[in-house]
Every structure is written in structure tokens, then in C-alpha cells.
Structure 1
């Protein structure tokens, strides 16, 4: 079971209040959909939960541990935020294999299973630099999933995917929900939000409001 508690979180960049006294709680077994215009604060909240930015004030507490105090980053978290860093001169498998060596929590079978689940060939030697945008997005999703994290933070997870890819991602995320994962999605795709989310949160000018 995972829980994320956001308390009075604020962040200003260049006199623009990106996060404005945000108070939210997220729990396992639920999918939360963040909706709002570009620049409204959706991605910045995900970055704050990941520990990638320091807030001006407030707290992010994950499973009872405060970010930037007790932990530097979430301990079990899969992430897609903006442009996921992929190694262009390596295959899909080799990309995830090198990442797996950081935490040593995923074996080769877990890596291959994640790659296969998003419709890619785990045995292919094709370099990522030759991938289409859709294939890169599929690999980014596999990268978020392969270590079987408790929390998934996904910014536009169906971006650049064709219809089959979109359906694959939706199926995967619903399966992850059944496994009691905590999932937060930021998306402009209204159908994704409608089909996947238990709770929709509207974002405007750094303020977050449950619908």
C-alpha cells in the first residue's frame, strides 16, 4: 500500500506561481487524472512528487517519509515525464538492462516481460535511435513498469501512439490498478481520463481541484 500526501505545496518560477498551496492525498488502488492547459501545473506536480524540484514551501510525504528530508526520491516509482531519456545507440532490452543495474530490483525476465507487454520485441537488436516516436513512447512505458513499482507517475502516456498502442497502454494501466498500484496520469486525452481515472483533478494556474 502506498500513499502520497501533498501539504501546502507551492513553487514559483520567474514570478509565475506554478504550484499554489496544493493539498492533495493519493492512495493505492486508484487512478488519478490531472487535466488542465499546458503550463497549468500538472507536470510540475509530478516533478515535485518525483523529487526533481525543490518546492518553495510545503511538503511531499510518500509512505510516511518526507521528500528532501527523509528521502531524496520516491523509493518505488515508475515515471514518464516529458522527454524520457533513452540511450539512442542501444536496443530496447539494453536500455532497461543498464537501468536495472542501478537498483538491482529487476531480472532479465522482468525486463523482457515489460518490453513484450508494450508490443515491442525484447530480443530485437534494433537501436532506439531508429525507433519511431510511437516505439519510443512504448519503450518509455516499459521503462516505467519494468521494476514493478508501487507508484506510477505518467505525463501524457498515450502521446504519439497509434490506436493499438493507446489500447495497449489503457489495458496495462487497468491491470496495474488491479495490482493495487497508485497511478497519477496527466493527459490532454479526455478519453484516457474518462476511461482510466477514478478521480479527476482539474488544474488551473497552479491550483488543484477535485471534480
Structure 2
């Protein structure tokens, strides 16, 4: 899977979030999208996910053949603070529901995910009863276990304790080696495994 941007720019009203951004991102590699708060990290990841359209330049996705922007959602799994969980569901119900429209990788079942997360005691609890850290583990699970070539992680260690961060590294190491991973963060703890960095501050318009 390859994503290529050519002189890409995104603005809201008259304010440019980023401009003249060109880059190439390929499977088997991990990229840190860094920058201060408000620098456009989340906006950039939403463009990569096909959720936002550019105002100038272009973004292309290729998986052997070109992928139309309206179908790129099939190739992408996301974990982000602005994506909410269905709090009325139990953890197992949530994972089973998610699997219906975004299948998990081969051999992965909701039960196996719960075990690997170390959340067996919470399997039948409603999400609304979870701590913030438990919710973040569930968000990471929905993303990383999905059978997609692109993994987008926006502030992935939000609300995680040391044990949760260790779990994050384990999931990345076990399930993301051959995928295209982009991590949006200004905290090195979240992206220290990434091989390359892109600073959004290099594409700001002042």
C-alpha cells in the first residue's frame, strides 16, 4: 500500500492548516506525524483516511491499483480521541459489532482480543463502566486488530498507564510490522518506534 501527496493543502475557511505538503508513505514503514498542539496532525490523518478533502494538491492511494478516495475507508483503521465507543455495549458486543463492518485479521476473534488485552474481567461490562484507560485499550483493539493495510493512530497512548503503554508496544510489534503505520503525536513515547518523521510545522502558513 502506498499513499502519495503532491503539494497538498488543507484550509478551514481562510485559515490554512497545512500547505505545499508532498510526501510518500509505504507499507512496512512507520511514520511519526509530529508538531505542536493545533499544528494539523489530526487534520492530516483525516485527509489520509479519506475523511477530509484537500483544498489544493492531491492525495493518491495505491494498493496494486489506484484506490478511489470514496473507497479508501476499506483499507484504513483509525484510533483517535474524537472517535467514540458505543457505551451501551459490553466489550465483547462492541468487538463483535465492529467485526461486522471491519473484519479482524485471520485467527483473531473478540475472545482472543479480550485475552490479549488482559481485560477478561471486563468482557461483559458495559463500556460506560470502563475507566478512561480501559476505553483507550478498546479503541486500540478496534484499530490494530482490523484487517487493513493502513493503521492511523492519533495520540494512541492517551489515558494509558505504564502497563497500557507496554501493551501498545506489544500490539504494534506483533501486528503492524508489514503495514503502513502513521502516528500523530507530540509525545515521543507514542512514536519512538517510528522510522521516519514528518513535522507539520514545516508546512504551516504564517
Smaller-chain TM-score bracket: 0.7 to 0.9
1:193 matched residue in structure 2: 191
Q: CA RMSD for the aligned pairs?
A: 2.2
Name stretches of at least 5 consecutive residues in structure 1 with no aligned partner. Answer: none
Q: How does 1:29-48 map to 2 (within 5 A)?
A: 29-48=28-47
Q: Would the aligned equivalents of 2:145 and 2:175 in 1 still touch at CA under 8 Å?
A: no
1:4 matched residue in structure 2: 3
Q: How does 1:9-158 map to 2 (within 5 A)?
A: 9-63=8-62, 64-65=65-66, 67-68=68-69, 71-103=70-102, 109-121=108-120, 124-158=123-157
What CA distance in whole angstroms lies between the structure 2 residues aligned with 1:136 and 1:25?
32
User: 1:17-37: CA deviations, max 9, x gaps?
Assistant: 112121111111111111111
User: 1:10-61: CA deviations, max 9, x gaps?
Assistant: 1111321112121111111111111111111111110001111111122221
> Does residue 203 of structure 2 align to residue 203 of structure 1?
no
Q: Would the aligned equivalents of 1:155 and 1:185 in 2 still touch at CA under 8 Å?
A: yes
Structure 1 residues 103 and 30: CA distance shift in structure 2, 3 A: closer
Structure 1 residues 98 and 62: CA distance shift in structure 2, 3 A: same
Structure 1 residues 174 and 31: CA distance shift in structure 2, 3 A: same
Q: Aligned pairs, how many?
A: 202
The two structures have a TM-score, normalised by structure 1, of 0.86
SS at match of 1:140: helix
Q: Would the aligned equivalents of 2:34 and 2:197 in 1 still touch at CA under 8 Å?
A: yes
What CA distance in whole angstroms lies between the structure 2 residues aligned with 1:100 and 1:122?
21
Cα deviation for residue 158 of structure 1 reads 0.7
What CA distance in whole angstroms lies between the structure 1 residues aligned with 2:36 and 2:68?
27
User: 1:148-196: CA deviations, max 9, x gaps?
Assistant: 2211000011110000000110121122343x111000112223323x1
The two structures have a TM-score, normalised by structure 2, of 0.88
